[in-house]
Amino acid sequence: MTDIEVQSLLAAVPSNLPEEQLSTLLQTEYFRLVRIVSTGQATPEGEWYDQDENEWVLVLQGSAEIRFEDSDVTKSLSPGEYVQIPAHVRHRVDKTDPDRSTVWLALHYT
Amino acid sequence: MTDIEVQSLLAAVPSNLPEEQLSTLLQTEYFRLVRIVSTGQATPEGEWYDQDENEWVLVLQGSAEIRFEDSDVTKSLSPGEYVQIPAHVRHRVDKTDPDRSTVWLALHYT
């Protein structure tokens, strides 16, 4: 008999973290589904993410600003909003909500 | 230059549908990411889903009840809650929120 467990992305959300918290929810050879909790963190000044995998990322709670290097455009994300970031598109998180934990759901895939 | 578009899972949510609305957000050889909107629909009486793929499914808005055949257990899902349903675990949606559109995010994968 299969026991199916209900879990919540919005439960046990820390409100004060020294660094972002990453929890892998699901992983196969081809993708990784991760919950990320940010409590005001941003990518360190002058640094960019340059990822080998594509990323689809959703904000569930809180808010964030992502900046893209080549266009120098900043995008704001509120709950329910997502972006799809192709591999090697350099980007950084300029800001996450200073007042409330930001909960992200990220799907990294090849 | 890459144009990154912000989209929302909670935008353009219909409130009255003759049947559930499925929108594929992302698809590769190995998975399919789908937004589902239910407006009170349930699986027809006596029918069960028996899927060839695994499914990870999250409720973002509204609520739902999923029943599993082998355990005869019903699980309720509220916003932020998810379940992981292995392939061929027979289940049905007993109920979706009658008062508000239910928005699901489903990841089907092999």
Whether the model clears a pTM of 0.90, i.e. scores above it, the answer is yes
Contacts of A98 by beta carbon, 8 Å cutoff, 6+ apart:
A40
Q: Summarize pLDDT for B3-26 with one digit per residue, the tens.
A: 899 999 999 999 999 999 999 999
Match 């970031």 to its residue by tokens.
A85
Q: Summarize pLDDT for A62-88 with one digit per residue, the tens.
A: 999 999 999 999 999 999 999 999 999
Q: And the tokens for A104?
A: 């992200």
Interface residues from chain B to A (CB-CB < 8 Å): 1-11, 25-26, 28-31, 33, 56, 58, 60-61, 66, 68, 70-71, 73, 75-86, 89, 91, 105, 107, 109-110
Match 């090849």 to its residue by tokens.
A110
Q: How confident is the model at residue B2 (pLDDT cuts 50, 70, 90)?
A: low
Check A83 against B4: CB less than 8 A apart. Answer: yes
* Model pLDDT, residue A2: 67
Q: Does residue A106 have a pLDDT over 70?
A: yes
Task: Tell me the HSE value of B68 on the side-chain side, using a 13 A CA sphere.
Answer: 19
Q: And the tokens for A73?
A: 């455009």
| B30, B75, B83: residue with CB nearest A31 | B30
Contacts of A99 by beta carbon, 8 Å cutoff, 6+ apart:
none
Contacts of B24 by beta carbon, 8 Å cutoff, 6+ apart:
B32, B33, B34
Q: And the tokens for B103?
A: 């928005």
Q: And the tokens for B101?
A: 């559109």
Q: What whole-number distance in Å separates Cα of residue B18 and Cα of residue B40?
A: 10
Check A26 against B56: CB less than 8 A apart. Answer: yes
Complex ipTM tops 0.90: yes
Cβ(B34)–Cβ(B106) under 8 Å?
Answer: yes
Q: If you write DSSP's letter for every residue of A66-84 in order, what string do you get?
A: EEETTTTEEEEE-TTEEEE
Question: Phi first, then psi: what are they for B10, rounded to 5°?
Answer: -105, 10
Contacts of A5 by beta carbon, 8 Å cutoff, 6+ apart:
B83
Element (H, E) at B38: strand B31-38
